[in-house]
Amino acid sequence: MGSQTILLIEDDPNMAYLLKFVLQREGFAVEHLADGHLAREYMQTHSIVDLVVMDLMLPYVDGFDLLRWMRDHELWRLAPRIVLSAREQEADVVKAFEAGADDYVKKPFSPAELMSRVRRHLGPKGRSA
């Protein structure tokens, strides 16, 4: 578990700091990108990571578009995708799952709960086919 890499896509610097802190404390390597455009560029030039944690409200490229891009990509669709968002309407949650999210955590959130979901997706059965 210690060598697994998580891609964090979050534009809020304070939130990004905390998430990175929590994930690194748990032993994960974290790649942080602050907007959707940078995220897409990264995914086009790097091999897939073990898990993606991402916000929906991102600059330049919408989080839903990013999810759909990953879902339709030959390799990146294999990385589990956890959405962490303040958008709490049922329609947004449904839309995120339809776009390819594997999990959805609403803000305000519990770091402990987020970590248990991360561990569940990264367990022996965590990688989606």
* Smallest separation, CB 25 to another protein (Å): 6
- Does residue 52 sit in helix, strand or coil? strand
Residue 113 interacts with another protein (CB under 8 A)? yes
Using alpha carbons only, what angle is made at residue 112 by residues 66 and 23, rounded to the nearest 5 degrees? 55
Of 18 and 75, nearer to another protein (C-beta) is 18
Q: How many residues bind another protein (CB under 8 A)?
A: 14
Residue 21 interacts with another protein (CB under 8 A)? yes
Q: Which stretch binds another protein (CB under 8 A): 32-40, 44-52, 55-63, 107-115?
A: 107-115
β-bridge mates for residue 24, sequence order: none
- Which residues, other chains included, contact 90 with Cβ-Cβ below 8 Å and sequence gap of 6+? none
Q: Of 104, 68, 103, which Cα lies nearest the Cα of 89?
A: 104
Binding site for another protein (CB under 8 A): 14-15, 17-18, 21-22, 25, 107-113
